[in-house]
A and B are shown apart, each in its own frame.
Chain A
Amino acid sequence: MKIVVRNLVKIFKVGSIFSLKKLTAVDNVSFDILPGEIFSLVGESGCGKTTTAKILLGLEEPTAGEIFYDETPLEDFIRDKKEFLKKVQLIQQNPFSTFNPFRKIEDYLFKTVLRFGIADSREKAEKIIDEKLSIVGMSFGEVRDRYPNEFSGGQLQRISIARALLTNPSFLVADEPVSMVDASLRISIVNLFKDLGERFGISVLYITHDLSTTYYVADRIAVMFRGNIVEMGNTQEVLDNPLHPYTVLLKVSVPIPNPETSWDERVDLSTLEREEYFTKGCKFAGRCPHVKEICKQLQPPDIECGGRTVKCWLYK
């Protein structure tokens, strides 16, 4: 499935009715996700990546902007709720809270299969469930009659992926799918995503703050900062040679598991994180090492630069 997002804006109203403050969580964001591609939204907490995902999933209303699923506008597509949820599925961040601890795992799996008309009897459903579980390296026997907290985080995240695959979706949103999973199990889950595009042609929106797994798994990347996409392009190109100063900062902050790479230069931490949303110029101007006068006055436009987009005055 091809997803097109154009000029997406989401403004939250904070405070009470008497002292409204507008917070632009997603600020004029545009991107495409191609069929069978893993597209990654990368950024720190509060950069708007999760809000963007929620809008794509129909869980949040956009303030402005357009979204198309294979040319169909989101508003039209979502009208048939069953069809929408069949085509668009998600995997959440924390496997321990993805499932209600008082509900059996199989409850979720059977409901998904039966409600979306994938199978019409429990026997057939069980076969389909077993099939999808085997994709993630598990079987129905392991899951039968058991509750979520009888599983480890890694297992739960596999089940979560299998559940999302049950409806044979064309688009999968994965919101930080491995950040709560143990290191030894993380890569095997990331590998599942790697295969999804190749084996099933599913488009994946992979949301994360972890550049290492993004580099490993994503085809294209968009780096978000305070609601803006500041840099977008081919993952390898962007991360091997970042252009935007924020991408550079992100990259050098990744703790690489190799003691020989040392951190020489020091980083400055913003103490005014909330204020950065409300600045009128470039939102990174406050801590950018290359800041110019224009950066403080005017928000930079999206600039095409060697096959990628950068939102920075340096490249004008």
Chain B
Amino acid sequence: MRKLMYSLSELWEDPKFKYSSIVLGLLIFISILSYFSPYDPYKWYLLPTNQPPSLRHILGTDGKGQDIFWVLSFSLRNSLMLAVVAAVVSRVIALLVGILSGYLGGAVDRLLMALTDTFIVMPVFPLLLLLSSLIKNYLTPPVLGLIVGVFSWSGDARVVRSMVLSLREREFMITSKFSGMTVKEVIVGDLIPYLLPIISGGFIGSMMGAIGFEVVLSILGFVRVETPTLGSMFHWMINFQAMLLGYWWWVLTPIVTAILLFTALYTLSLSVNEYLDPRTRVQRIVVVK
């Protein structure tokens, strides 16, 4: 815990990290506010439609008679939840497959890698489209996250495997063995520190992928657009032709939010990856002391 705090304080020195964590913090804060929302996001025409921003409705209202700020709050909550589910699922599978494959080798390795290769050649996008259109009514944000996660682990599983393969040849693995360490201790203590950059970078990457994918599906109308998500905001905004009618507050809200969210995630991954690079991290251990 103390170490984590220390790392955070070190990372804070990086302007990239500062920017991204402030923006993400703000967006997460807004999404938490949804629990205190005065409105039901599924009810339409509770308010006068298409009102520009005012003190009562700080981001105005949309053509469905909903307060845009509170819709945004629900949308962020759902989109972030979906993103985290997708990221966790894909990381867990990638790590599991990669480590098992690289560490055990032999037949297990061949079997798992055959599976991985298949997922690499799979046309993920059309397939997901097909799948989501088939089960549209079951597609709550976490389910969609789960599906995206299941289809987006293969590339990183290969990277993890090749890293584990090269780590397995390192002398310190033999030392661990002769120090009586268990397989679990070896994985946690010897492998994970080297895999951290790929885990964290991949986590943020698949979050971005999942949010983006949901937006695409929503714009195309392949998910239940009644559920408030970042994508459904785009969907209704386009459907009600807010752009042509000049309701700029309705148009800009999802666009600005999406750009903020994506740039923040992107800079966060850049900054964290730089920080976790094993080469500099090893040197830092001494300098810090």
Interface residues of A (CB under 8 A from B): 59, 82, 85, 89-90, 92-94, 97-103, 107-108, 111-112, 115-116, 147, 149-150, 160, 163-164
Given known pairs A59-B174, A89-B178, the reply for A101 and B185 (CB within 8 Å) is no
The interface bits of chain B over 159-179 (1 if a CB of A lies within 8 angstroms of the residue's CB, else 0) are: 000000000001110111111
B180 touches A116 (CB 8 A): yes
Q: Which 7 A-B pairs have the closest CB atoms?
A: A115-B180, A102-B193, A100-B172, A112-B179, A97-B171, A101-B282, A111-B179
| Interchain CA distance A134-B174 in the complex, whole Å | 24
Q: Please, which residues of chain A bring their CB within 8 A of the CB of B278?
A: 101-102
Given known pairs A92-B171, A147-B285, A149-B285, the reply for A100 and B179 (CB within 8 Å) is no
In chain B, positions 179-194 with a C-beta closer than 8 Å to chain A are 179-181, 185, 189-190, 193-194
6 contacts between A and B (CB under 8 A): A85-B177, A97-B172, A98-B172, A102-B282, A115-B179, A163-B175
A111 touches B185 (CB 8 A): yes
A100 touches B176 (CB 8 A): yes
Given known pairs A102-B193, A111-B185, A150-B289, the reply for A93 and B171 (CB within 8 Å) is yes
The interface bits of chain B over 138-175 (1 if a CB of A lies within 8 angstroms of the residue's CB, else 0) are: 00000000000000000000000000000000111011
Q: Please, which residues of chain B bring their CB within 8 A of the CB of A94?
A: 171
| Interchain CA distance A97-B181 in the complex, whole Å | 17
A103 touches B189 (CB 8 A): yes
Return the chain B residue nearest A116 by Cβ. B180
Is residue B256 contacting chain A, with contact meaning CB distance below 8 A?
A: no
Q: Please, which residues of chain B bring their CB within 8 A of the CB of A90?
A: 174, 178
B282 touches A108 (CB 8 A): no
| Interchain CA distance A102-B280 in the complex, whole Å | 12
Is residue B107 contacting chain A, with contact meaning CB distance below 8 A?
A: no
Q: Please, which residues of chain A bring their CB within 8 A of the CB of B281?
A: 102
Out of B170, B171, B180, which one reaches A112, CB within 8 Å? B180
- In the complex, how many angstroms separate the beta carbon of B3 from the nearest chain A beta carbon? 12
Is residue B286 contacting chain A, with contact meaning CB distance below 8 A?
A: yes
| Interchain CA distance A94-B171 in the complex, whole Å | 8
In chain B, positions 15-61 with a C-beta closer than 8 Å to chain A are none
Return the chain A residue nearest B185 by Cβ. A111
Out of B170, B193, B286, which one reaches A149, CB within 8 Å? B286
Q: Please, which residues of chain A bring their CB within 8 A of the CB of B179?
A: 108, 111-112, 115, 163
Interface centre among A97, A116, A160, A163 (most CB of B within 10 A): A97
Q: Please, which residues of chain A bring their CB within 8 A of the CB of B176?
A: 100, 108
B180 touches A85 (CB 8 A): yes
Return the chain A residue nearest B186 by Cβ. A100
- In the complex, how many angstroms separate the beta carbon of B286 from the nearest chain A beta carbon? 6
| Interchain CA distance A164-B178 in the complex, whole Å | 8
Q: Please, which residues of chain A bring their CB within 8 A of the CB of B170?
A: 97, 100
Return the chain B residue nearest A115 by Cβ. B180
Q: Please, which residues of chain A bring their CB within 8 A of the CB of B190?
A: 100, 102-103
Out of A98, A149, A150, which one reaches B175, CB within 8 Å? A98
Return the chain A residue nearest B193 by Cβ. A102
Given known pairs A100-B190, A107-B189, the reply for A150 and B286 (CB within 8 Å) is yes
A92 touches B174 (CB 8 A): yes
Q: Please, which residues of chain B bring their CB within 8 A of the CB of A160?
A: 175
Q: Please, which residues of chain B bring their CB within 8 A of the CB of A147?
A: 285-286
Q: Please, which residues of chain B bring their CB within 8 A of the CB of A150?
A: 285-286, 289
Q: Please, which residues of chain B bring their CB within 8 A of the CB of A97?
A: 170-172
Given known pairs A94-B171, A97-B170, the reply for A149 and B178 (CB within 8 Å) is no
Given A89-B178, A99-B175, A100-B170, 14 other A-B contacts at CB below 8 A? A82-B180, A92-B174, A97-B171, A97-B172, A99-B172, A100-B176, A100-B190, A102-B194, A102-B278, A102-B281, A111-B185, A116-B180, A149-B282, A163-B179
Return the chain A residue nearest B181 by Cβ. A111
Q: Please, which residues of chain B bring their CB within 8 A of the CB of A115?
A: 179-181
Q: Please, which residues of chain A bring their CB within 8 A of the CB of B282?
A: 101-102, 149
| Interchain CA distance A97-B175 in the complex, whole Å | 9
- In the complex, how many angstroms separate the beta carbon of B72 from the nearest chain A beta carbon? 41
- In the complex, how many angstroms separate the beta carbon of B178 from the nearest chain A beta carbon? 6
- In the complex, how many angstroms separate the beta carbon of A309 from the nearest chain B beta carbon? 31
- In the complex, how many angstroms separate the beta carbon of A81 from the nearest chain B beta carbon? 9
The interface bits of chain B over 118-136 (1 if a CB of A lies within 8 angstroms of the residue's CB, else 0) are: 0000000000000000000
Given known pairs A102-B193, A147-B285, the reply for A92 and B175 (CB within 8 Å) is yes
| Interchain CA distance A149-B283 in the complex, whole Å | 8
B180 touches A111 (CB 8 A): yes
| Interchain CA distance A90-B193 in the complex, whole Å | 25
Q: Please, which residues of chain B bring their CB within 8 A of the CB of A93?
A: 171
Q: Please, which residues of chain A bring their CB within 8 A of the CB of B185?
A: 111
| Interchain CA distance A149-B278 in the complex, whole Å | 13
- In the complex, how many angstroms separate the beta carbon of A293 from the nearest chain B beta carbon? 43
Q: Please, which residues of chain A bring their CB within 8 A of the CB of B174?
A: 59, 90, 92
B175 touches A101 (CB 8 A): no
Interface centre among B174, B179, B180, B181 (most CB of A within 10 A): B179
| Interchain CA distance A117-B179 in the complex, whole Å | 12
